[in-house]
Amino acid sequence: MSAGPRYTLYHPRWYRRRVSVWWWLQNRSYTGFVLRELTSVFVAFFAMVSLWQLRALAQGPETYGRFLARLGTPLFLALDTIAFLSVLFHAITWFNLTPKAIVLRVGGKRVPDWVIVGSNYAAWLVLSGAVAVVLLRG
C-alpha cells in the first residue's frame, strides 16, 4: 500500500445534494463569511479608482479637475461610502485573524494573541496618521 488516495477537486458523477446559491443567508456566521469575502470587490474598486486618479494626474489639471468632479457625484459618493465600510470591515476582520495565521514565538514562548492583534491596530493607526499628515499638508 504505497499509493495514497487520489483526490479530485470536482467529481461530477458523485451524488451531491443541490445547495441553493443563497446557502450563506441561512446562518449569520456564513453571511459574515461571504460578506467578508465580498469586501475584496471594493478593494479592487478602490485600486481601480487610484489607477484612474494617477492617469488623471498624468494628463494635466483639466483632466484631474474632471476626475474630482466625478468623485463628487452621488453615484461615486454612494459607492465610496459602501467601499469605505467594506475596507473597514476587511481591516478589522483581517487584523483579528492574524494570530490564527501567524504563531510567533519569542524565547520559546508563544506571543499572546492580543499582542499580535494590538500591534496590527497600532500599525494601522500610525500609517493612517502618516498618510493623512502628508495629504493634508498640500
Partner 1 sequence: MGRITPLLWLLFSAGGTVAALLFPVHLFLTGLAFPLGWLEAPSYEFLHRLVTHPLIRLYLFVLISLPLFHWAHRFRYTLYDGLQLKHLTELIAVLCYGAAVLGTAMSVYLLWNLS
Cβ–Cβ < 8 Å for 116, 104: yes
**Does residue 131 belong to the site contacting partner 1 (CB under 8 A)?**
yes
| Least Å from the CB of residue 123 to partner 1 | 6
| Least Å from the CB of residue 110 to partner 1 | 20
| Least Å from the CB of residue 28 to partner 1 | 16
- Could you say which of 1, 3, 9, 75 contacts partner 1 (CB under 8 A)? 9
Q: What is the dihedral of CA 65, 67, 68, 70, to 10 degrees?
A: 130
CA pair distance 70, 80, nearest whole angstrom = 12
**Does residue 88 belong to the site contacting partner 1 (CB under 8 A)?**
yes
Nearest residue (CB) to partner 1, 72 versus 107? 72
